[in-house]
Amino acid sequence: MTDDGPHDRVALVTGASRGLGAVLAQFLARQGYSVIVNARNREALSTATAEIAESGGFVFPVPGDVSDPETQDALAKAVSRWGHLELLINNASELGPSPLPELSALAPADLERILRVNVLAPLTLTQRLLPALRKGRGRIVNISSDAAVGGYPGWGGYGASKAALDLLSLTMAHELTGSPISVVSVDPGDMRTEMHQAAYPGQDISDRPLPEITLPFWAWLLNQDPAQLSGHRFRAQSDRWEVPEP
């Protein structure tokens, strides 16, 4: 277990109980980060937390729905134990009903839930944590999707939320120009996860790669100058990644 003293790098990962979020939390702990993890499913989060702790990483779980103000209060309190935050990964996502309905059949309440988790929660959590991110010269990473640009039938609600998150990421990056905070959005690509399975109920998705396929990208990202990357959107499963021209 790492020392959680004032000089540690601190990361917060939402939606960290399974899938990409759990893989990222484990990866960051191995890189020496003190990792705050959040998810709605307490049991799954407890399991993910135990796996990180058993491998020697420092992990601090905060269960709850990230769109709930009380959960955001608890996350802000967790960050305050260090007073700084080097990395915020807004990964928690709401798919919506399964099977995925076409937009003509998408209930307003379901769309509101999707937007609340996928757009409002990342924005309001980021707002709460900006002081700690400034102190930590922090990176904000918003997890997007190819559905944000694909226009795939059935993915309208989810895709619209991720397109909105992409625009929030770009706009915030512009607004924070000159500050020590950087913002990027990342499309992790198709992966073999519970959420992806829920999007295709009854179908075999075993041909999709596991979330670990994205680890080379994350290793690359964390070794780049964040100021040069801010405002850009990356595809984690691309053959190569490049630092954009200034």
What contacts 238, CB < 8 A, 6 or more positions away? 217
DSSP 31: T
Q: In sequence order, what DSSP letters do the residues of 56-69 get, joined into one string?
A: T--EEEEES-TTSH
DSSP 145: -
DSSP H helices, 64-202, are 69-80, 108-115, 121-135, 147-150, 156-175, 194-199
**What SS3 state is found at 158?**
helix
Q: In sequence order, what DSSP letters do the residues of 67-98 get, joined into one string?
A: TSHHHHHHHHHHHHTTS--SEEEE------SS
Q: In what order do the strands lie in the sheet with 59-63?
A: 59-63, 33-39, 9-14, 87-90, 139-143, 182-187, 233-235
Q: Active-site residue numbers?
A: 158
CA–CA distance, 167 with 89 (Å, rounded to integer): 16
CA–CA distance, 98 with 194 (Å, rounded to integer): 12
**What SS3 state is found at 176?**
coil
